[in-house]
Amino acid sequence: MLYLFHAFCLLDIFCKKKETKIILILSGNYRWRKLTVRTDNSESETAYPSVSQNSWPYQRYGHTVVEYNGKAYLWGGRNDEFGACSKMYCFDPEAVTWSVVPSEGEAPPARDGHSAVVVDDLMFMFGGFEEDSQRFSQETFAYNFKQRKWYELKTTGELPQWRDFHTACVINKKMYIFGGRSDLHGAFHSSRDYYSDVLKVLNLKTGRWEDPKVTGDCPCGRRSHSACKFFFFLKIYRVRNNKMYIFGGYLGTENRHLNELHEFDPATSCWRRLKPFGTGPSPRRRQCVVVVGERVFLFGGTMPSNSKKMDPVHSGLCDLSDLHVLDYAPTLKDLAANAVIKNRLNERFSDLIPDDLK
């Protein structure tokens, strides 16, 4: 099962302190279901425990969500009225409850547009845009889940540029940072945006930043894209895969939304552009991506709107609610379902097609 945290969209622009909704999708049959978590004051009947309103994260963007021991941990993010948040929230899918996680130590300043990954009992957080100082960050922090304590990492090597809305992936105890928005003049905004296409790697064992010499079809710089690590072993072909994948994003210097899929192999330091079979997602940014088994699920995002009636406050963008699945080992049933959709057979032969293929 996948959990979608409905955090913030253009339609919510005037309702900024609404609670974060949770929507569940069953990865086997692609059916959506909204989870109802009532407040203490709710009189509606529900099978779920009550949760204090103060334990809910308000709607936001630029936050991160990671999984640790079967629970989801949300940190950071902001909205335009209440600014950035520095609380850690935990969602328990078994109890269907939110809670605020107490923490101590050197907590990072409130921010949005950072990245977060989990290795063993630690969450590593990098970059973002700091609310109080109004600056891009290039620092790395670690949160110890067992100790409930923050640490600022003292790294060595050449630091990455200050940035926000980049991506991070962990492969073999190394954190791979790609893309994001920077400024040509340093940590503060000067309206001179810069989009780096340089891959930076933090060795989490040594704390040293590395600069791999990459080859191949490198992706251009971008922000608000998606990245994921994909690992699987196909017994029939005796093939192992432990690579990083980059999709979509926005290149502000060219005002261009992207929908290319790139693969990076840490073993060879080589980039490769992929062209999967089937109809892929449209150019977009701010989408979310998660890997389940041998499938990559991509949901939503924003893209330019062709509507002439678009409100100027929306910056000419529209929200997306489509779901795409990239399957690395499709079954015959999956291929049949794809053929049904592509040829619209469900409309012509509805009575003959099994329900799970419609």
Burial of 283 (0-12, 13-18, 19+ CB in 10 A): middle
Higher confidence at residue 10 or residue 349? Answer: 349
Radius of gyration of the chain (CA): 21
**Which two three-digit tokens encode residue 55?**
């334990």
Q: Which residues contact 188 (CB under 8 A, 6 or more apart)?
A: 134, 135, 136
Angle CA(216)–CA(221)–CA(224) in degrees, nearest 5? 125
Q: Residue 89 — very low, low, confident or very high, per pLDDT cuts 50/70/90?
A: very high
**Which two three-digit tokens encode residue 141?**
């922090």
Query: What integer pLDDT is reported at residue 240 of this predicted model?
Result: 56
Tell me the percentage of the chain whose pLDDT exceeds 70.
Answer: 81
Q: Which residue, 161, 164, 159, is CA-closest to 207? A: 159
CATH class of the region 2-39+53-327: mainly beta
Of 209-213, 229-233, 268-272, the range with the lowest mean pLDDT is: 229-233
**pLDDT tens for each residue of 18-41:** 555 666 655 566 677 777 664 333
**Which two three-digit tokens encode residue 36?**
């109802």
**pLDDT tens for each residue of 275-292:** 998 889 999 999 999 988
pTM: 0.86
**pLDDT tens for each residue of 54-74:** 678 888 999 999 999 999 999
Please, are residues 196 and 147 in contact by the beta-carbon 8 Å criterion? no
- AA letter at 127: G
Higher confidence at residue 239 or residue 48? Answer: 239
Q: Which residues contact 26 (CB under 8 A, 6 or more apart)?
A: 1, 33
